[in-house]
Amino acid sequence: MDGFPLELPLFLIATFAGALVAGLSGFAFGLVVSSIWLYILTPLQTATLIIAFGLLVQGFSVWKLRRALDWRRLWPFVAGAALGVPLGVSILTFANPGYVRAGIGLFLVLYSLYALFRPALKPVKAGGAAADAGVGFLNGVLGGITGFAGILVIIWCGLRGWSKDQQRTVFQPVAVAIFLMSAFWIGANRAITSETIKLFVLGLPALLFGTWLGLKLFGRLDEASFRKVVLILLLASGAVLIVPKF
């Protein structure tokens, strides 16, 4: 945004909307903001700001939930992600990222449509920590490729049959960890410019207000409504991944 002209209100609206959705659902900040930011910012600015703002949104939410965190349940996902993120980033060096994104997007669309139009599945009890670590690994690979930091863990938490509060105490800390790992492996800090820093500062009030409001609305969701919100956002995530990047 050269000189921050009329695009600035769009940037702030997108930032607020992304924070609101992330506060409500626990994820999808990058999905919401990128749908607008990519029209007014460079892809590099968009990626840098998604990581920076995403860490704040998810980090604030995790701080609010800190007393409910169960580290025995959480550590396998984080450990698996630590191995998966560098692999996901390295895949970008030899695989066609467009094909990878489209394949993952198709899977998300089919899964969310299936789950939306049928009764909830019986909870998956098998596998224990090993299965959780495997999902964390695959989620780390996906995060390294696409920047979508918690999608597979979100699906797995739903299949486990955990409550909405239990799900958020797993997939939000995992998302924070993946954002940090991805920033390290991709080297996003090298892309920071003075204009990006200005946008970050200008967007902070919208980000914080949107996050606060989203967390307030989350407290009013019942289990069925939360499940529908998550599945609809997964469907939207899949659709965004299928559409070719410009």
Average pLDDT over residues 217-240: 80
Spatial separation of the C-alpha atoms in residues 225 and 205, rounded to whole Å: 28
Residue 121 lies inside a defined structural domain of this protein: yes
Residue 117 lies inside a defined structural domain of this protein: yes
Residue 101 lies inside a defined structural domain of this protein: yes
| Least confident segment among 35-49, 87-101, 189-203, 217-231 | 87-101
Spatial separation of the C-alpha atoms in residues 166 and 62, rounded to whole Å: 12
Q: Which residue has the higher pLDDT, 238 or 134?
A: 134
Residue 135 lies inside a defined structural domain of this protein: yes
Residue 1 lies inside a defined structural domain of this protein: no
- Per-residue tokens: 168: 């958020």
Buried b (16+ CB within 10 A) or exposed e, 159-197: ebebebeebbbbbbbbbbbbbebbbeebebeeeeeeebe
Residue 110 lies inside a defined structural domain of this protein: yes
pLDDT of residue 15: 94
pLDDT of residue 187: 63
Asked whether residue 69 carries a pLDDT value surpassing 70, the answer given is yes
Closest C-alpha to 92, from 34, 146, 148? 146
* Burial class of residue 121, CB neighbours in 10 A (0-12, 13-18, 19+): exposed
Average pLDDT over residues 151-177: 85
**Looking at the 3D structure of the chain, how many domains does it have?**
1
pLDDT of residue 205: 95
Domain range holding 207?
7-242
Q: What is the pLDDT of residues 168-224, one digit of tens each?
A: 888 888 888 887 887 777 665 565 678 888 999 999 999 999 988 988 888 787 877
pLDDT of residue 80: 93
Residue 2 lies inside a defined structural domain of this protein: no
Residue 123 lies inside a defined structural domain of this protein: yes
Percent of the chain exceeding pLDDT 70 equals 86
